[in-house]
Amino acid sequence: MGEIDYIRVFFASFTLWILLGCSIIAFTVTLERWWYFRKIRFHPKRFLEILGKIATLVSQGKADEAMQITHGLTGPIPDIVRTAITNRNRSKVELDELLTAARMEQRLVLERYLGILGTLGNTAPFIGLFGTVVGIIKAFHDLAVSGSGGPAVVAAGISEALVATAAGLLVAIPSVVVYNIYMKKVKEMATNMEVASIRLLVVLHGGR
């Protein structure tokens, strides 16, 4: 029995085409989220420096200058800072609620497209398994039609059918790993947003 012709198997199996599309989607989402998290990288020391400047300017009634400090900064933390400065004249309770709402909105942005990776990680193995089952059915059908060839023909067909399962795992495993890595980043950023909100409340309403 010769080696498996993977190119022929690929073109003969529609499930492998589906898994190819899944792999392209997973790679695209991974790349997009990597670029996004790279842009919003959080630096605690830098934030404390910015927060100190903002506190000084706000106490001096220079809110516009405090807002200008955040210009050019992207990500959830700068957006929360801008929300706090814009609504600095509201009561502490109202500002706390606004910051909570802002954190919830930012978390949705952080988790954008990650559900796709989670879904692919869960479904890709089943797609591959489906392709394997279809391939095994086809192998036994071909054996029944030909009436000859014996176990060698069935073994060849099954070995080719198992390629679909391997392909499904090849898509699923990296998707799950990347999903878990990015979800860890989301949780870290959510914690940083909460810490930033508390510090902003203290800075803007600590003396009231």
1 in a structural domain: no
**Angle at which helices 44-59 and 150-205 pack, to 10 degrees?**
30
Note the pLDDT of residue 181: 95
What percent of the chain shows pLDDT beyond 70? 87
139 in a structural domain: yes
Domain count, the chain: 1
**End-to-end distance of the chain based on CA atoms, in angstroms?**
83
- Rounded average pLDDT over 68-95: 84
Note the pLDDT of residue 8: 66
- Rounded average pLDDT over 171-184: 95
pLDDT band at 186 (very low <50, low <70, confident <90, very high): very high
Question: Does residue 75 register a pLDDT over 50?
Answer: yes
pLDDT band at 153 (very low <50, low <70, confident <90, very high): low
48 in a structural domain: yes
42 in a structural domain: yes
Q: Which residue has the higher pLDDT, 86 or 148?
A: 86
Cβ atoms of residues 12 and 164 within 8 Å: no
Note the pLDDT of residue 151: 66
Q: Which residue has the higher pLDDT, 192 or 2?
A: 192
Q: Say whether pTM exceeds 0.85.
A: no
Range in 73-82, 90-99, 133-142, 148-157 the model is least confident about: 148-157
Question: Does residue 201 register a pLDDT over 50?
Answer: yes
Q: Provide the phi-psi class of 147: left if phi over 0, else alpha when psi is between -120 and 50, else beta.
A: left
Cβ atoms of residues 70 and 157 within 8 Å: no
144 in a structural domain: yes
pLDDT in tens, 13-56: 788 899 999 999 999 999 999 999 988 887 777 777 777 777 77
What percent of the chain shows pLDDT beyond 90? 37
Note the pLDDT of residue 104: 93
Q: Which residues are within 8 A (CB) of 130 and not within 5 positions of it... i.e. 6 or more apart?
A: 15, 164
Domain containing residue 24: 6-205
141 in a structural domain: yes
**Angle at which helices 14-39 and 150-205 pack, to 10 degrees?**
20
